[in-house]
Amino acid sequence: MKTGRRDILRGSLAVAGLTIVFPAGIPEWALPALAQAETLVPFTDLPATINLTPTPDRRVNDIRKIDGPFTPKDQFFTTQHYGHPTVDLATFRLKITGLVDRPKSFSIDDLKRVGHEDLVAGFECSGNGRPLQGLCSNGRWTGVPLRTVLERQDAIKLAADSKEPGVADAMQLYIGAARLDEGRTPWRDRAAEADELRRAFDALDRLGVAIGDARDVELRIAALESLGRGSELVKVVERGVALPGLSPETQANWRAIQARTLIEQSAYDEAALALRALDATGVGNGRALDLWTSLAQRRLATGDPPGAAAILADVLARTPPETPAWCPRFLLSIEARLAADAPPRESLLAELRSAAARFAEGATAPEHATKYRELLGRCGGRP
């Protein structure tokens, strides 16, 4: 099938994003008018003997032959001032040296194990000009981002050096956690990948590969949290917080994730230890109090009203009364103490009445006002 110039323009405009404006198709009026009703106008200022590839390292893109948005690689323009390097793929090494903690060297095969990303980009030489203006091309480039290589040095090297079956494939998934962390790459089969990822972490332990740095910990947390492997996540955090030089903010963030995971696992005593460690960072008091409250709710729901009441007494003491969080925490505290049957209901009723103004119509959320009236009745008072 012959491709006309208007077809090419339609494809280029679609790449440019006009299909968002015209989802049913780009209308005729949006295309530039062409001379002589689709007749191609020849380049009359180009000699018939023009040589577009004067040397092996110099090539001009023949724009008269463009038939799509991407330039074939054997037609991509190239120009040189200092010559082309000669690269032997069998012996090539990418070296990471200089201001790094652990210098590394990778072969082409090492880098291929990481996976790849595609990027569409066009190039134009600053010296592009008449008559053909062919020092420009557009292509789809495939490779490994430098950021991924720098962040995953140890994982790539482990995949390359390990003789254990399946470790290289598993480590590729582990490296992919960087993209997962950025929300760019979904897992294709979470159940299978969870098993492979577990084997990868087991291999890390067997081979004695310690957690490298804070970014390493964050990637592991992101992967394990997404895959629902809470027990391993808790261990990673415990090892990660022992790294030297961590900021209080980083420690607080990891401890919060650890505490939330332990609460979800009903490991309440361990969650309390994680929350005390979070409190010790001195960062994120609001987040810590939210998690303490969640822990109290779970203890209350699972038959431990005294434990819930003890937690909520501390939470209320640390919650400013003027903040929106105070009302629901106060009500939960009353409910926990009521379920624990301590102190006497008369005392709880007095506390509720002293807070009546906070739960008046329009002073708090409707559900809080409703809960207040319910607790007031259970303590023997009248709304």
Q: Which residues contact 291 (CB under 8 A, 6 or more apart)?
A: 256, 259, 260, 263, 271, 275, 278
The DSSP string of 73-121 is TTT--B--SS-PPP--TTT--EEE-SS-SS-EEE-HHHHHTT--EEEEE
Q: What is the predicted pLDDT for the residue at 256? A: 96
Domains of the chain, CATH where assigned: 42-144 (3.90.420.10)
- Whether the bond between 131 and the residue before it is cis, its omega within 30 degrees of 0, is yes
* Distance between CA atoms of residues 27 and 368, nearest Å: 57
* Distance between CA atoms of residues 324 and 102, nearest Å: 49
Which percentage of the chain shows pLDDT scores above 90?
35
> Which position has the token pair 């990481």?
114
* Distance between CA atoms of residues 261 and 289, nearest Å: 16
CA distance to 292, 301, 317, 329, per residue, from 333 (Å): 12, 13, 11, 6
Identify whether the C-beta of residue 304 lies closer than 8 Å to the C-beta of residue 284: no
* Distance between CA atoms of residues 163 and 206, nearest Å: 12
Q: What is the predicted pLDDT for the residue at 304? A: 96
Q: At what angle do helices 345-354 and 366-378 cross, to 10 degrees?
A: 150
Average pLDDT over residues 337-354: 92
Helix (H) or strand (E) holding 260: helix 248-264
* Distance between CA atoms of residues 339 and 352, nearest Å: 15
* Distance between CA atoms of residues 286 and 232, nearest Å: 26
pLDDT digits (tens, 9 = 90+) for 55-93: 877 888 888 888 888 988 888 888 877 777 788 889 998
Q: For the chain, state the CA radius of gyration.
A: 32
pLDDT digits (tens, 9 = 90+) for 165-196: 444 544 554 555 444 444 444 444 445 555 65
pLDDT digits (tens, 9 = 90+) for 280-317: 999 988 999 999 999 999 999 999 999 999 999 999 99
User: CB neighbours (10 Å) of residue 256?
Assistant: 21
* Distance between CA atoms of residues 37 and 26, nearest Å: 18
What are the φ and ψ backbone dihedral angles of 96, each rounded to 5 degrees? -105, 105
Which percentage of the chain shows pLDDT scores above 70?
69
pLDDT digits (tens, 9 = 90+) for 15-54: 444 444 444 454 544 455 554 566 767 777 777 788 888 8
Q: At what angle do helices 214-227 and 167-181 cross, to 10 degrees?
A: 90
* Distance between CA atoms of residues 131 and 126, nearest Å: 15
